[in-house]
Structure formats: C-alpha cells, structure tokens
C-alpha cells in the first residue's frame, strides 16, 4: 500500500498543517518516501471530540461486539503482511524474523483480549442481594462491575513499532475496556503506524464501530503530545519510553484541573543475581545465556538485563571473561533511530568515565561506528562503589551491562535492598543456592514486578498471567500491567449500582446471569 502521510482523525484523513517530516532508514541514514504531516491543534481537538462522542456508543456495546472488532483488526493486520515487512525493515532495520514475531505477538494480544471479552468474567461482577427484613436496618441490593473510563491516548514506543504502538497492547486493552484510542505515532516509524492505522479503520468499518473509535496523530513536537494529555476529554494515557518522557507526561496529567492516570513504563536494569553454586557448576552456560539476553535486539528491550550481581571469586572472574569473549564475537547491530544510538553512546561514555567503574569489554571501534550502530559493552564495579554511587547502575538503553561484585552474602543482600523499582529481577542458582537465599526472593518481590529463576528477562510472554510492570521508576503505577489480560484494568473503573430495578441492570449484573459469566454472588463464586 502507498503511504499517504495524513493524520487519521476517526474515519477522516486530515493534513491541514504546513509542516511535515520524513522517517529515516537507520541502516543508511537516507530519508524514506512519504512526508508525514504534523498535526495541528485543531486536528487534536477534532480527534478528542470524535473520541468523546464515540465513547458514548462504544462502551455500551456488548463484549462480543468489541471482540469482533479486535478479531477483525487481527485479520486486517495479517492481510497487510507484505506492506508491513517492507516498511518496517526500512524504518527499523529489524530482520524479517523479528518483524514477523512481533507482528504475531501483536495479533496474539488482540485475539487474547477478544477471548477475554467473549468469556466476560473480566468485569468482576459482585452482587449482594437485598435483605429487606434485616435488623436493625434493611440491606439494599448492591451490585458492582467494571466499566470503561473514556478516551485513551497511547504514545507509540520507539523499540516496539508493533506490539507497543498503534495496535499494540495499550490499544488492544483500551478497546477491550470500551475506550476509544488516539495514538500519537512515534517519529521513528510513522509509515508502520499508518499501515496499522489503516488496518484498524478497515476493521472499524467492517464491524460497525463509531467514527472516532480510533485516531492516529503524527507529530515530532512535544506540544502536540502535551495538548493530547491535557485535553479534558481524555481519561488516561499509555506510554512506553524514557524516564524523562514518562515523567513529563505524568506531571502534565497530574497538573490538570482533573488529573488522570498516566500508565508509563520508563526505566529498568532488570538485575540478575548469580549465586555461587550455580556459577561453579554451570558458569559458562549462564554467561552464554546472559550475553544473548543482553544483546538481543541490540539491547533495545525494556527487559534487557543491564545489571549482574555476583560474589567475588574466580568463578565470577571466569563469568566476566566469558561474557567479554562472547561480546567480542557479536556483530554490531543497528538501532532503530539515530537519537537512540546518540543516547546510548552518551550514557555509555559517561559511565565508562566514572572513577568507580572499570571496562571489562568495549569494542575497540566504539565511537567510529555509524550513527545507528551500537557495539556491546560489559562494565564492572563493586558493591561498595554501587552503594555509594547508585547512578552507575542506572539504565543504559542498549547492549551494555554492568557486573556488581560483592565481597560476601551480606553485601549482596544490601545491594538487593538498595535497588530502585524494576520490571524484572532474577536469580540463577542450584537447589542448594535457592534454599540458602530465600531472603533474597523476599527482597526481590518488593523491588520488581516479575521474578525469574534460572532464566533471562529479555522478552515478555503474552498470556493472561503475565505481569509487565513494577515499582517506580520502572513504571508510574506498580499495581498495573501492560501485558496480559489484567492490562484492561488500567482503563476501567468500578461502578456500584444500588437499588436498581432488574429491568435497568446491565446484562453482567442481572439476576438471571444471561451472559453465564463467573460472578461473586453473596460471597460465593457462581455462574
């Protein structure tokens, strides 16, 4: 399909502004065909007005009807495979295998939420029937369920142009909740965003969705994003990106006369703790797995293991040397956008200059690579230095990790206790190791959203039980996930109906339970 570069405002294509920008091929530095029109404030206004109007119809639709919409999006995405492969390769330099696997994840998310909607129990219906004869006071009939909050703004992620962007998890979960979505496309892959937008609009037409259920905004300006967040018709925001970007949106939303939640995924180093028996018995295998996890996708994963913690000794030294040897063999990868590489290079250079950090491995060609090529690196410091200078453990977004060496078990526990909030944390250990370090798991459970044993964090399984979130600053709300069916609750709120006549109750709360969903009725779960 041809790239038109317009803003998709509901079912209209608009491009009233005079400014535009082009995507860049990160492999060549060349501008790609297609000028994307910078959205105007009037187009933002129209998108928000349409979304608010669409919400009145969309959130009242049955779960089955919204499921049909999500399933139709999935089909429409698959129909655009060739266009997606071509444009994504040009905009991201991702290999075809990565493009198709992320596409399949995106489609899988849409279908997962459709399945959730068809089953229906996600509304968490709670019913306490009336007790008119109760003494000293009668009890009213009280019923509660989840409803959509209103229009949602989603900011496309730079590193996941499919699964965390236009039709990604934030959009899918918002649609499932009954919330229209306005997506601000990421400037690194606007053509990909347009192809996905075309699929969503196609599906919306085919399934009878209201005009305004979806809009796509192009802009390289922070002012447009700010205007979207501050519009009084917007009820929530989904964001995946840097701490700085997430904090700006969070602060803008909090400063509104009526604040709204910003569900921001921001910064995480995803520490792995390597216990002594495991290093002794299978240190090489752990080093190999870590090297692969660190460099997968050129380190452009929010779950990239940027920190390793181990006890001082020859096994740890051997681990570090093995990782260094592995990194030396890694082909230097291309990052999605020159700005990401610029941030990686600046952060790595600064970290290498820190007096408490030594370089175990850094490509000899560092600094002479192309604008988007990111050579891997392994740094090292001590627990004492890390505790005194926690900034050396901050995220470097890219294929760079730091090994923190502890003198004893107590130091390792202190490092764990000092961690800021993380998306993931993991432990490699034998059964004996794990038995001896149960207190480490207790600490990690307070610090991270997902704890792994004998695994590597890079990548997230899309399934109902997954939790992709964590304490601040990894996310802005540790109670919520952006992956898995529980992600829908970011965009819903409970409402309680008291004393309602049966004829005025929604199907989810009617006594006869016409939807046959699981409900909590007078303290017992039943269908």
Active-site residues: which are they?
Answer: 265, 302
CB 274 within 8 A of CB 308: yes
In degrees and rounded to multiples of 5, residue 457 shows phi and psi of: -80, -20
By the 10 Å C-beta count (0-12 exposed, 13-18 middle, 19+ buried), 472 is classed as middle
- On whether the CB atoms of residues 486 and 467 are closer than 8 A, the answer is yes
Q: Residue 225 and residue 212: Cα distance in Å, rounded?
A: 18
Task: Tell me the sheet residues that pair with 475.
Answer: 265
CB proximity list for 520: less than 8 A, separation 6 or greater: 124, 125, 126, 127
Rounded Cα distance between 84 and 100, Å, is: 9
State the helix-helix crossing angle for 222-230 and 41-58, rounded to 10 degrees.
40
Contact 385, 392 (CB under 8 A): yes
Residue 148 CA: distances (Å) to CA of 175, 359, 398, 510: 9, 50, 36, 19
Give the integer Cα–Cα distance in Å for 440 and 291: 24
> How do beta strands 272-274 and 307-311 pair?
parallel
Do 88 and 99 form a contact (C-beta atoms < 8 A)?
A: yes
């Amino acid at each position: 399909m041809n790239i038109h570069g317009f803003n998709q405002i509901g079912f209209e294509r608009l491009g009233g502004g005079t400014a535009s920008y082009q995507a860049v091929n990160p492999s060549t530095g060349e501008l790609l065909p297609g000028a994307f029109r910078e959205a105007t404030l009037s187009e933002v206004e129209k998108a928000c007005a349409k979304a608010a109007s669409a919400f009145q119809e969309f959130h009242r639709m049955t779960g089955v009807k919204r499921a049909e919409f999500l399933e139709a999006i999935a089909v429409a995405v698959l129909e655009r495979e060739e266009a997606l492969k071509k444009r994504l390769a040009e905009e991201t330099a991702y290999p075809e295998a990565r493009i198709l696997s992320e596409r399949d994840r995106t489609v899988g998310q849409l279908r997962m939420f459709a399945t959730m909607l068809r089953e229906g129990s996600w509304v968490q219906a709670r019913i306490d029937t009336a007790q008119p004869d109760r003494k000293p006071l009668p009890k009213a009939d009280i019923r509660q369920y989840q409803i959509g909050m209103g229009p949602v703004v989603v900011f496309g992620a730079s590193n996941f142009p499919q699964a965390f962007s236009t039709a990604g998890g934030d959009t899918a979960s918002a649609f499932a909740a009954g919330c229209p979505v306005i997506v601000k496309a990421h400037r690194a892959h606007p053509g990909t965003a347009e192809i996905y937008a075309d699929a969503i609009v196609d599906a919306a037409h085919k399934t009878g969705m209201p005009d305004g259920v979806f809009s796509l905004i192009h802009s390289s300006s922070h002012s447009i994003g700010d205007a979207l967040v501050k519009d009084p018709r917007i009820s929530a925001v989904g964001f995946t990106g840097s701490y700085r970007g997430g904090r700006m949106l969070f602060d803008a939303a909090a400063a509104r006369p009526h604040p709204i939640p910003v569900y921001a995924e921001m910064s995480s180093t995803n520490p792995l703790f390597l216990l002594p028996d495991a290093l002794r018995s299978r240190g090489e295998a752990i080093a190999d797995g870590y090297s692969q996890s660190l460099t997968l996708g050129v380190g452009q994963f929010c779950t990239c293991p940027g920190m390793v913690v181990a006890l001082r000794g020859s096994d740890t030294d051997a681990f570090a040397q093995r990782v260094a040897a592995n990194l030396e063999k890694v082909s230097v990868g291309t990052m999605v956008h020159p700005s990401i590489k610029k941030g990686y290079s600046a952060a790595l250079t600064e970290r290498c200059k820190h007096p408490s950090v030594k370089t175990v491995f850094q490509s000899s060609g560092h600094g002479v690579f192309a604008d988007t090529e990111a050579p891997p690196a392994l740094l090292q410091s001590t627990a004492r230095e890390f505790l005194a200078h926690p900034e050396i453990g901050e995220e470097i977004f890219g294929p760079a990790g730091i090994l923190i060496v502890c003198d004893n078990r107590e130091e390792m526990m202190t490092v764990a206790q000092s961690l800021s909030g993380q998306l993931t944390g993991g432990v490699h250990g034998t059964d004996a190791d794990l038995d001896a370090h149960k207190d480490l798991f207790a600490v990690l459970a307070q610090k991270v959203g997902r704890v792994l044993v004998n695994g590597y964090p890079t990548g997230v399984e899309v399934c109902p039980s997954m939790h992709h979130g964590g304490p601040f600053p990894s996310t802005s709300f540790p109670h919520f996930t952006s992956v898995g069916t529980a992600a829908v609750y970011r965009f819903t709120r409970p409402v309680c109906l008291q004393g309602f006549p049966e004829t005025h109750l929604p199907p989810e709360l009617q006594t006869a339970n016409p939807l046959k969903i699981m409900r909590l009725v007078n303290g017992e779960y039943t269908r």
